[in-house]
Amino acid sequence: MNETFLLEISVESLDAAIAAERAGAARVELCSNLREGGISPPPDLLRQVRAALAIPVFSMIRPRGGDFLYEEPELTAMTAQIAEAKEIGVDGVVLGVLCPDGSVDVSRTKELVDRADPLPVTFHRAFDHTKDFLEALEGVIATGARRLLTSGGAESVPEGLPVLLELLEAARERIIVMPGGGLNAGNLAEVRRALPAREFHSGLGSVLPYDSSDFTRFEAEIRAMLTPFPSP
């Protein structure tokens, strides 16, 4: 188990972003509508969060909920959202495009990755909807994305541990594989012992209801996730 790791928290409001930073999160992924898995945040919110936080802010680039098969007008909108996010000063973007056969759409995703340059791109959990994870990993690497967010194709990271181990071994140093999905203070220690990952992602949807404005428990959960674990 790595003694040091980076914890990214997904948020959909300024207050949640500030609370995540205060609790010790190393980075936030800013989205709207986390109930739908996250879509692109409005520019005004992105500006507010970027201005308020000292830690890196990554912006979701996703025009709608649902599947990850996009028509040309949607891809054009994503390109515009990337340009706006860069102008606002974000530190990275989060996106992903699939093909109808369930594979990574390498060419279209690469176009978006190139548009984002020099910002790093995280390929999001669209990956978990692909049909061959090792083949999809090679596709994501071919896009130029620097990071892959995945639960190993399962409902949660603890359930996806076998696949995540395979992905981490196959990825080697070519891309950062960031486990995310269902992580909290109650299971992160075990997951960290099982996986040689350097970064982890959590939305804490079970801890902070999406319509809540009370961040006390949210902060406490993040702090607990970051507390050093005793040796087993």
**Domain containing 52 — which CATH number?**
3.20.20.380
Return the bridge partners of 202, or none.
9
Q: Confidence band (pLDDT; 50, 70, 90) for 34?
A: confident
Query: Does 231 map to a domain?
Result: no
In a domain, 111, yes or no: yes
Q: What is the model's pLDDT at position 27? A: 98
The whole-number pLDDT of residue 35 equals 79
Report yes or no on 163 lying in a domain. yes
Question: Quick check: is 13 in a domain?
Answer: yes
Residue 229 lies in a domain: no
For the range 49-54, what are the long-range contacts, defined as Cβ-Cβ under 8 Å and sequence gap of 24 or more? 49/11, 49/14, 49/17, 50/88, 50/89, 50/90, 52/14, 52/17, 52/18, 53/17, 53/18, 53/21, 53/28, 54/21
**Over the stretch 64-91, which tens digit does the pLDDT of each residue have?**
999 999 999 999 999 999 999 999 999 9
Nearest CA to 187 out of 147, 146, 155, 148 is that of: 155
Structural domain containing residue 17: 6-224
3-7, 171-175, 198-202, 213-217, range with the lowest pLDDT: 213-217
Q: What is the pTM of this model?
A: 0.94
- Average pLDDT along the chain: 94
Query: Is 77 part of a structural domain of the chain?
Result: yes
Q: What is the pLDDT of residues 121-169, one digit of tens each?
A: 999 999 999 999 999 999 999 999 999 999 999 999 999 999 999 999 9
Cβ-Cβ contacts under 8 Å for 109 (sequence gap 6 or more): 95, 96, 97, 123, 140, 143, 145
Number of domains in the chain: 1
pLDDT at 210 over 60: no
Q: Is residue 48 part of a domain?
A: yes
Tell me if 232 is assigned to some domain: no
Q: pLDDT grade, residue 37 (50/70/90)?
A: confident
**177, 152 in Cβ contact below 8 A?**
no
